[in-house]
Amino acid sequence: MPSTEPRGPRQILRALVWSAKGLRAAWSHEASFRLEGYLLVLLFPLGLWLGDGAVEKAVLCGSLILVLSAELLNSAIEAVVDKVSPEFHELAGRAKDMGSAAVFLLMLNVMLCWGLVLWQHFH
């Protein structure tokens, strides 16, 4: 059912609060998210420095943000699956594996983006 509540600054603020809660929960409970967060803190400034122009900077930094986004979605999938189906089920395992595969593919994307940009600069 669509929301009849008007969109405005209050709803934007609520969304920001919920997003912050989600980021805090991921940081507190997900070791993979923390590791990827540390990599973002290290590599994001490096991407801004190494990128030659806006497009390269966006590719280097954006690829890192995509990994964290996928990790959040993967963690959400795992939490819901564990809540709904605490015992093992093939479909639950498949859902978790697919979420993990999405993170893995975006990590490959980071390596590809960074590798191509660095190759172009140092070759």
Cα Rg for the chain, rounded, in angstroms?
18
The distance between the two most distant Cα atoms of the chain, rounded to a whole number of Å, is 57
Please give the angle made by the CA atoms of 17, 21 and 23, to the nearest 5 degrees. Answer: 115
Q: Which residue, among 83, 106, 113, 111, has the nearest Cα to 96 in the 3D structure?
A: 83
Summarize the annotated binding site for substrate as residue ranges: 24-27, 71, 100, 114-119
Q: Which amino acid is at 86?
A: P
* Under 8 Å between Cβ of 117 and 50: yes
- Residue in 36, 56, 71, 90 annotated catalytic: 71
Per-residue tokens: 100: 């993990």
Please confirm, yes or no, whether 71 is among the known catalytic residues.
Answer: yes
Summarize the annotated binding site for ATP as residue ranges: 30, 78, 87-89, 96-97
Summarize the annotated binding site for a divalent metal cation as residue ranges: 30, 78
Q: Which residues are annotated as catalytic?
A: 71
